[in-house]
Amino acid sequence: MATGMASGSGQLHLREPVSWRISYGKAHSHSNLILNSMQNQINWSSGISKLLQVHRSNYSQCQVKINWKSRGGTIKSYLREGSTRYFDFAVIGSGIAGLRYALEVAKHGSVAVITKAEPHESNTNYAQGGVSAVLCPKDSVESHMQDTIVAGAYLCDEETVRVVCTEGPERIRELIAMGASFDHGEDGNLHLAREGGHSHCRIVHAADMTGREIERALLEAVVKDPNIYVFQHHFAIDLLTTQDGSDIVCHGIDTINTETQEVIRFISKVTLLASGGAGHIYPSTTNPPVATGDGMAMAHRAQAVISNMEFVQFHPTALADEGLPIRPSHIREKAFLITEAVRGDGGILYNVDMERFMPLYDERAELAPRDVVARSIDDQLKKRGEEYVLLDISVKPREKVLSHFPNIAAECLRYGLDITQQPIPVVPAAHYMCGGVRAGLEGETNVQGLYVAGEVACTGLHGANRLASNSLLEALVFARRAVQPSIDHMNVSKIDHGASSWWPRPVAPVLLGDTVLNKVIRRTREVRKELQSIMWEYVGIVRSTSRLTLAEKRIKELELKWETYLFQHGWEQTMVGLEACEMRNLFCCAKLVVSSALSRHESRGLHYTIDFPYVEESKRLPTVIFPSQLNSSWSSRQLYRQHIC
């Protein structure tokens, strides 16, 4: 893994954008990292497109078989041969980015939507706040851009920000036309909320369950589409790639059906990664259990460029079970989110002695961006030795609170807390990865035939910190922008009937026997908790070089110990199982975060280190991770050698 700061310069104001650049040059050793000197520079927004001239593969047609759609009763067909499936488009992930993209490309070919669990189980489904867009005459694209860039600590790519803020309103109208229902005010217009970091009311929402409503509308459309096939409970293992000279080409994905343990290979002309984030590298996260960094890890192993992984957003206000009148009987798999909109609606943060503290940290108080609020809460908890702070919305009219936040009110009431009368105990939790697979303005990557959208991608929009409710917006915009280049790539590509035999097939560990397999699974779950503990202890909201270095050392030792345990118990390099492969991906993403954090010698946005506590203009550059096969562990390399064309 080669980690470095990209070259470029820029002034610290809106009209002088950051020069987001990729470079491939001579490597220099520094602080146990590989930093890259700058030679061939490529602009973030347009460079990948210029760098990658698409090389086309020769394919031949395979026989057609019939498959029943899992819902709706429509007979559908796709190319199939044994345990291999052939599609024009393969979409990994069933959140807002994956489904929106699938609905568009399905007009031009067959689409496989590959989802790890149930189709609705995604970060989108749990998004409470809403989607930000300029829909009020008093608002402007320039204002939305300014808010995004300020929240992103001036590390955002201005061209990307302009594209997203400009195209956002039309993407919202498309959702409404598809049947998504958002809240309206008494005047009949969309009710627009305000959240931290926003200068205007611009958050389109469906009470406090916006993601669920969007997911519902998209899934209903997907069910009705005869060209879309949903493969649920199919866990993506590794991308299928070949090397053609200096080019890496993606040809699909290997998966395992977690219910039948059958390995299914998907060969596709185009692949979209829309697999979400990696919240579960930490012990407490608002992400659902499926968010184990699978897409980021697979892309890194496939030699895709990764960027800005040090910027992990901790949502300031997750429900703190320790402060509830009735404690939950079980530890939650995911922390319950208390949306940013509660503070936007007038919620006030207090310590347990009901002393307001946010004005002490920032003049914007509760409306400061998330990184500021999370660090402020973290500081209060450490100074006072307490487990949570309090968020009070009870001063607002009861009817307004219940209408705006019915889901939060109901969840709190389950545990004896009435939010219309009592403050809510809250604590920060891992929430969103601002970094990911480096993407251009059309979702393209440096791997041909591979596109990315949603949280798995790093487009340059969020910079060092994501502005509230910009995540669903980014997913919508980039899912739509990736459509045309994907269609163009598909139209000049053909399916090669022999492609499936280019790579050895992964195998399920059934030959190990139940006793050994159960031991492996049990040990893997223990290791997972150990890794999460290391990440929270040493790579949390406030960092230091010594603690990051210790985290790097401990993660490497833990990974080696775990892999040794697996192989001593008969596990083989090509064996795959849900727990082991998730662990593999968690290790990979954790190392990417730590490596990136060590390479940034300043405090910017979500990355705060006590050794470099100030923002430095000379460091206002994206972190870029180039792939390397040197000293790679099982988690950092593909299961099989790359096929050479």
Dmax (CA) of the chain: 71
What ranges make up the beta strands (E) of 82-233?
84-92, 111-114, 131-132, 192-193, 203-204, 228-231
Contact status, residue 154 vs residue 460, Cβ threshold 8 Å = no
User: Long-range contacts: 357-360, Cβ < 8 Å, 24+?
Assistant: 357/389
Residue 233, C-beta contacts closer than 8 angstroms, at least 6 positions apart: 115, 116, 117, 118, 257, 258, 259
Cβ-proximal residues to 144 (8 Å cutoff; 6+ apart), any chain? 132, 133, 134, 165, 168, 200, 202
Element (H, E) at 322: none
Residues 598, 601, 606, 609, CA torsion sign:
positive
DSSP annotation of 512: G
**Is the backbone of residue 154 left (phi > 0), alpha (psi -120 to 50) or beta?**
left
How far from chain centre, in Å, is Cα 372? Answer: 21
**Alpha helical stretches, state H, 57-157:** 96-105, 123-126, 141-151
Radius of gyration of the chain from Cα atoms?
23
Nearest to 624, CA basis, from 347, 445, 437: 437
Helix (H) or strand (E) holding 435: none
Measure the CA–CA gap between 525 and 512, rounded to whole angstroms.
18
User: What number of other Cβ atoms are within 10 A of residue 16's Cβ?
Assistant: 12
DSSP notation for 230-269:
EETTEEEEEEEEEEETTEEEEEEEEEEETTT--EEEEEEE
Of how many residues is the chain composed? Answer: 645
Distance CA 566, CA 560 (A): 10
| DSSP at 14 | T
Tokens of 429: 């939790």
CA separation for the pair 344, 251 (Å, rounded): 45
Say if residues 435 and 421 touch (Cβ distance below 8 Å): no
What lies within 8 Å, CB to CB, of 385 at 6+ separation is: none
Catalytic site residue from 85, 100, 265, 370: 370
Spatial separation of the C-alpha atoms in residues 483 and 485, rounded to whole Å: 6
Distance (Å, rounded) from C-alpha 265 to C-alpha 358? 52
Using CA atoms of 183, 186, 187, 192 in order, give the dihedral in degrees to the nearest 10.
-40
Q: What's 345-371 look like in SS3?
A: CCCEEECCCCCECHHHHCCCHHHCCHH
Record the tokens describing residue 496, joined without a space. 């090669």
Question: 370 an active-site residue?
Answer: yes
Burial state string for 96-123 with b = 16 or more CB within 10 A and e = fewer than 16: bbbbbbbbbbbebbbbbbbbbbebbbbb
Q: What is the DSSP letter of 10?
A: -
CB 570, CB 516: distance < 8 Å:
yes
The two tokens of residue 251 are 């040809």
Task: Show which residues are catalytic.
Answer: 370
